[in-house]
Chain A
Amino acid sequence: AQRVTQPEKLLSVFKGAPVELKCNYSYSGSPELFWYVQYSRQRLQLLLRHISRESIKGFTADLNKGETSFHLKKPFAQEEDSAMYYCAPTPEAGTALIFGKGTTLSVSS
């Protein structure tokens, strides 16, 4: 069965601390992986996708096929990073984003 797991419901860190939001997936084939973010009172939006291998707002995500993980990392968290983060794999030939339960990141000063 296709499954995505975000084990932490809430992650609280201090400003300047490193952040890692975990995501594990269980999919056959080669899914495409995404992180979507929802800031307070804003709509869901794409943060980054594994295929582009880019850093957005200081965040990176490395696909580890052996561990079937796609953890989101940032070396120094900022208060404006506080938001809900969703890992969203997509099956190889699919159109649907399959969202994890999400992790709320809270960054305080």
Chain B
Amino acid sequence: EPEVTQTPSHQVTQMGQEVILRCVPISNHLYFYWYRQILGQKVEFLVSFYNNEISEKSEIFDDQFSVERPDGSNFTLKIRSTKLEDSAMYFCASSADRAVKNIQYFGAGTRLSVL
């Protein structure tokens, strides 16, 4: 069964450094998402992406964050200058098309630790 793949599973970085979290969505899916979960808190929506542009973003997704689909398979989340409070589990998700845009398939997550 096709799966959303995220790499790396754990990323450790120093405060102020840039990080790129990578995701390979399910191949025929059209909608892509990033969520995050700070330890002990709920899963929070960051951004959705469709047709090579951001379709929706939350207040969390400020100028420090960006997303990109650099080729036909990858979907990346970049944090320009990491802060301690960016430490969280980051989940990528994808969905097939507009009719089922909220049936989202999640990756296993990348744990980001900012020191």
Are A and B physically bound partners?
yes
Given A44-B91, A95-B31 in contact, is the A101-B42 Cβ separation under 8 Å?
yes
Tell me, yes or no, whether A49 is within 8 Å of chain B by CB.
yes
Beta-carbon contact of B48 and A96 below 8 Å:
yes
Interface magnitude class on chain A: 10 to 19
CA distance A102 to B41 in the complex (A): 9
A90 contacts across to B, CB distance below 8 A: 102
A99 interface hit (Cβ, 8 Å): yes
Q: Is the CB of A99 within 8 A of B44?
A: yes
Q: Which of A43, A49, A86, A100 contacts B109 (CB 8 A)?
A: A43
Known contacts A96-B45, A97-B43, then 10 further A-B pairs from the complex at CB < 8 Å, ordered by chain A residue: A43-B91, A44-B106, A45-B105, A49-B103, A95-B55, A95-B102, A96-B33, A96-B48, A96-B56, A101-B41
10 contacts between A and B (CB under 8 A): A43-B4, A43-B91, A43-B109, A45-B106, A95-B101, A95-B102, A97-B35, A99-B42, A99-B44, A102-B42
